[in-house]
Amino acid sequence: MPVPTALPKPVRAVIEAFERLPGIGPKSAARLALYLLRAPEEVARSLRDALDELHRGVAYCQRCFHFTEAEQPLCSICRDPSRDTQVVCVVEDPLDVVALERTGLYQGVYHVLHGVLSPIEGIGPDDLRIRELEQRVREEGVREVILATNPSLEGDATAVYLAQRLKPLGVKVTRLAQGLPTGGDLEYADQTTLMRALLGRREME
């Protein structure tokens, strides 16, 4: 849906920028743009500064590939001495880490793949952080890998592939219990469902 040309060019540009964000339709984009236009200038300025800092101030953890502050090579979870580094939970996306952390139950560490295997989209093993995961299992004395990819076709296929790669390394490989709905995303699951999924995880065959 084209942005109405009756609006000034700067407003149209902001609406078009918002429309490119996931989950933002034309009406929501227009409302956000008009809100920023009517709000005090410091509101728009603080948003601009935050967006500028987003790329400058954020990097990937060198161990688990979760987000970390640019000046920190390891994320806060990998730096936490109270975490059990011998249990690694493998997730698709950094937001999945946030979802699992909300349960307050899991005390191990993470490994973020940044996607799942998807032949249709041309995403293969070399496009994910699989080699780094295997290296961690070999070098860090990992005793259990929890496969927490989403319960979708791609997520399940990725979990099966990872289990086949990891089991020969002598590590226990488990999968979150199916308290999670098929086709769902971890980041949208409620706290109770995630806690049950963690507690009921099963070993991969």
pLDDT, tens only, 76-108:
999 999 999 999 999 999 999 999 999 899 999
Kindly report which listed range (19-23, 24-28, 188-192) carries the lowest average pLDDT score.
188-192
Q: What is the pLDDT of residue 3?
A: 59
Q: What is the pTM of this model?
A: 0.77
For residues 4-27, give the mean pLDDT. Answer: 87
Average model confidence (pLDDT) across the chain:
89
The sign one gets for the Cα dihedral 54, 60, 66, 69 is negative
**pLDDT tens digits along 124-176:** 999 999 999 999 999 999 999 999 998 888 998 999 999 999 999 999 999 98
Distance, in Å, from the CA atom of 90 to the CA atom of 106, rounded to the nearest integer, reads 12
Confidence of residue 17 (pLDDT cuts 50, 70, 90): very high
Confidence of residue 40 (pLDDT cuts 50, 70, 90): very high
Confidence of residue 187 (pLDDT cuts 50, 70, 90): confident
The sign one gets for the Cα dihedral 144, 176, 185, 162 is positive
Pairing of β 202-203 and β 172-175: antiparallel
Closest CA to 158 of 96, 116, 121, 203: 116
The alpha helices in 39-91, defined as continuous H runs, are 41-57, 76-79
Given a contact cutoff of 8 angstroms between Cβ atoms, the answer to whether 93 and 114 are in contact is yes
Q: What is the DSSP letter of 2?
A: P
Given a contact cutoff of 8 angstroms between Cβ atoms, the answer to whether 60 and 68 are in contact is yes
Name the architecture of domain 75-203.
3-Layer(aba) Sandwich (3.40)
Distance, in Å, from the CA atom of 195 to the CA atom of 43, rounded to the nearest integer, reads 38
For residues 21-33, give the mean pLDDT. Answer: 92
Question: What are the sequence ranges of the domains in the chain?
Answer: 75-203
- Tell me the backbone φ, ψ of residue 89, rounded to 5 degrees: -100, 120
